Amino acid sequence: QVQLVESGGGLVQAGGSLRLSCAASGLTFSGYAMAWFRQAPGKEREFVVAVSRSGGWTDYAESVKGRFTISRDNAKNTVALQMNTLKPEDTAVYYCAARRAIVDSTPRAGYEHWGQGTQVTVSS
């Protein structure tokens, strides 16, 4: 049974930083692309960033490019999201997601497994 467990959310002032973590179990982690998505109140879930199964490739949504950094540790089955210079519009529930990957790619859709989400609130 695949489990993705996010942690690290919270309340932060605009301009601040947070680091989210996602611990994966029940899958061969190095065979999966990993991604973060977010969903703000009243809005659809949106792609934030993906990292390839090797960690060698990343793909960021334009809205977070230069502020967020994704990383993964295949030895520890974890993926992290460092979020800097946070803005009120970053407020959302953030979800970790996994997708089996045959090639070392960074897909923006088609994720099979999802975590329960962690709330990030940025105050102005």
pLDDT at 81: 98
Give me the residue label for tokens 């993926």.
79
pLDDT at 63: 98
pLDDT at 72: 98
Are 37 and 120 in contact, with CB atoms under 8 Å apart? no
Q: What is the pLDDT of residues 58-115, one digit of tens each?
A: 999 999 999 999 999 999 999 999 999 999 999 999 999 999 999 999 999 999 999 9
Q: What's the token pair of residue 24?
A: 């994966």
Q: What is the pLDDT of residues 4-32, one digit of tens each?
A: 999 999 999 999 999 999 999 999 999 99
Where do the DSSP E strands lie in 57-104?
58-60, 68-73, 78-83, 92-100
Residues contacting residue 81 through CB under 8 Å, at least 6 positions apart: 19, 20, 21, 22, 36, 48, 49, 68, 69, 70, 94
Phi, psi of 88 (to 5 degrees): -55, -35
C-alpha span between 23 and 17 (Å, rounded): 20
Phi, psi of 60 (to 5 degrees): -115, 140
